[in-house]
A and B are shown apart, each in its own frame.
Chain A
Amino acid sequence: MAKNIKKYFQENGIWFLFILPALLVYLIFMAAPLLDSMRLSFYTGKGYTPTEFVGLQNYIDLFTNPIWRERFFGALKNTFIFFAIHMIVQNSLGLFFANLLANDFRGRGFFRTVIFAPATLSVLVAGFLWTLILNPHWGAINQTLKAIGLATWAKPWLGEENLALPVIALTSVWQWVGMPTVLFLAGLLGIPEELLEAARVDGASSGYVFWRIKLPLIKPVIGVVAILTFVDNFNAFDVVYAMAGAKGEPGYSTDLLATFFYRTGIAGEHPIGIPNMGMGAAIATITFVILMVGVLFWLYSSRKNEDLV
């Protein structure tokens, strides 16, 4: 009976009715705006409705015109650094915390909460909080350094071009480290206890167990965390906006693709203040392509792994 229904649905295309609602929502709210912004990237004109078709000129300007090129490649480089810091620092810390939390000890729930708590704050609130803590004159960090006799270490953390980006990235790491922690923790807790016991019986040290047993067994989780980190941080905007403003102060040293896009396409560059929607759309499209390539690469390699294992 059930089989007949299945067959009936398959042969008459009725299955299509069931995915139609979701498909419509997806098309209207995801695909259409995406395609429209791609279309927009071929136009130019001031204000919110660029009308003049210029073909690839926006892209050519971005890559070659000195006015645009410097900003664009600067933002691209910063975005990559911002992502790399998260990838390395945030995810290593997450793995470290998860490995600790996977053990049974008193206060485990408490530490799990503490590590995850910042993620529940608004990014703007967290960013603002850290600008206070990092304030060069009366911020807690410099005050503490001075108090313990390390006054020379006190720095204008957000005011130096080579410091600001890593410092902002680290505050973001602080806020979001709970995410990889819970994902890794779920992965580690999913490893059958007997496997770890078998390894211990066989004389493996805890380090050996970590590198040779635990890590390979949570490889799928590592992949998911990596791709989430990639997508989240190539899109990052709010933490820089909150701590360094839309221009990525000081001197564009914290400018990311998203802040660059925001200035160009939405807010409008100082002093004119008129947005260039076409160019903004071009930046957004490039960001999209980078993300797309990354995700496709990940899908492809994880598919290949699945076949192997």
Chain B
Amino acid sequence: MSVNIKINNAVKKFGENTVISDISVDIKDKELFTLLGPSGCGKTTLLRMIAGFNTIEGGEFYFNEKKINDMEVSHRNIGMVFQNYAIFPHYSVRQNVEFGLRNRKLDKAVVTEEADKFLKLMQIYEYRDRKPEQLSGGQQQRVALARALVIKPDVLLMDEPLSNLDAKLRLEMRQVIRDVQKEVGITTVYVTHDQEEAMAISDRIAVMDFGVIQHIGTPQEIYHRPSNTFVATFIGRTNFVDAHYLANKKLVEVGEYNFKVDNISLEKNNDVILSVRPEDFLFHEEAKTSLKGVIKDSFFLGLNTHQLVELQHNKQLVEVIRESSLENELPIGEKISLSIKGHKVNLFSKDSKENLVKRS
């Protein structure tokens, strides 16, 4: 079964309060699509509109060509995994997994066979006769996933399914989710506020803020070419530095230092916001033209060392990451020269709203 989800101009209001003002997305067949954003931005709200638990104040929702705005929840043929597992405490693991099949009036033998298949797929077959309370959090979430998938839903919805698990289990389970999602081949909408998790698991991500989608793209696109300063800071870390763009020479000027960028959509000279990821600074012993600064603080994190550098020309602090070396690190107070990997930076308009780098 192939299902794509299409949402046109969705609006959600709680009373007078508009939580989602106008969202449109196309979620492709068999894609793992993530809604990512800070707490309260409306991820759960949008997911619950797809599930049918929230009323829809405007716009259209489609599964393929079928409009689902007014369809009963139980008729939408969706699987759902909740943050706190939501498995039935009075049923055994097997009964939980069989629950959806029993509602479909299938043959007893078919029910058992299908349940077995998914119990094995989720590697909980050996726990099939246990009660949920006798399982660990990770095992419970596996039960929830098996129960959601066993009914062969058209769409799988997951709302922060890993946030109740400890850090190690989270890594393990996100791999499980990704593998199973690919194996079963099901269109999936995944909600999280953890950007690293989103990057690791998703085919595409919609970054949301205040009920508006800021950027839709693959993890790479969103990381390398964020559409505005919000996305640039929400995904990974970045430094914003005031800069000036010289259109005729295709140069970005930061204080005394300048470097060439040739894929900028500006026609005229203009003040811009330069966004540099910490790993996109280079250290120089000597250089003709360089960004001068002083090391103010230093954090050794094993693989990398993070350093806070105060820029000489405007006293701004920027974060710089270098691979740790065996020799002594540059001490605090040391004057250093930096340059910037020009092809990896982003330039944003002064109002923060537009990425001026042309998409290739």
Contacts and interface: CB of A to CB of B under 8 A. Distances in A.
Tell me if chain B binds chain A.
yes
Interface of A: 192, 194-195, 197-205, 208, 213, 216-217, 309
A32 B83 CA distance: 55
A285 B142 CA distance: 56
Nearest to B89: A217
A203 B53 CA distance: 13
19 contacts: A192-B86, A194-B83, A195-B88, A197-B86, A198-B80, A198-B82, A200-B74, A201-B73, A201-B74, A202-B99, A202-B103, A202-B147, A203-B75, A203-B100, A203-B104, A204-B74, A205-B103, A217-B89, A309-B89
Interface of B is mostly: loop
B66 interface: no
B89 A194 contact: no
A119 B90 CA distance: 34
A217 to B, nearest CB: 6
Given A203-B100, A216-B90, 6 more contacts: A194-B82, A197-B80, A198-B80, A198-B82, A198-B86, A203-B103
Contact of B51 (A201, A204, A205, A208): A201
Interface residues of B, number: 27
Contact of A199 (B78, B90, B99): B99
A194 B99 CA distance: 15
A202 B86 contact: no
B79 interface: yes
Contacts of A199: 88, 99
B74 A195 contact: no
B84 interface: yes
A179 B80 CA distance: 36
Nearest to B80: A201
- With most chain A CB atoms within 10 A of its CB, the pick from B74, B75, B89 is B74
Which A-B residue pairs are the 7 nearest by beta carbons?
Answer: A202-B100, A194-B86, A203-B103, A198-B86, A194-B82, A201-B80, A216-B90
A20 to B, nearest CB: 39
B79 A201 contact: yes
B88 A197 contact: no
A204 B89 contact: no
Contacts of A204: 74, 99, 103
A232 to B, nearest CB: 28
Nearest to A195: B86
Contacts of A205: 74, 103
Contacts of A208: 103
A217 B131 CA distance: 14
Contact of A203 (B51, B74, B88, B90): B74
Interface in B304-334: none
Contacts of A213: 88
Nearest to B87: A198
B145 interface: no
A200 to B, nearest CB: 5
B286 to A, nearest CB: 62
A47 to B, nearest CB: 58
Interface string B133-172: 0000000000010011001000000000000000000000
B63 to A, nearest CB: 14
B114 to A, nearest CB: 13
B1 to A, nearest CB: 16
A216 B99 CA distance: 15
Contacts of A197: 51, 53, 73, 80, 82, 86
Nearest to A217: B90
Nearest to B147: A202
Contacts of B144: 198
A195 B82 CA distance: 9
A111 to B, nearest CB: 23
A182 B83 CA distance: 30
A199 B51 CA distance: 13
B86 A309 contact: no
A16 to B, nearest CB: 37
A213 B104 CA distance: 17
A61 B270 CA distance: 110
Contacts of B87: 198
Contact of B73 (A195, A200, A216, A217): A200
Interface in B52-111: 53, 73-80, 82-84, 86-90, 99-100, 103-104
- With most chain B CB atoms within 10 A of its CB, the pick from A195, A197, A198, A202 is A202
Interface string B11-32: 0000000000000000000000
Given A208-B103, A309-B90, A201 B78 contact: yes
Nearest to A206: B74
Nearest to B76: A201
Contacts of A195: 86, 88
Contacts of B100: 202-203
A60 to B, nearest CB: 49
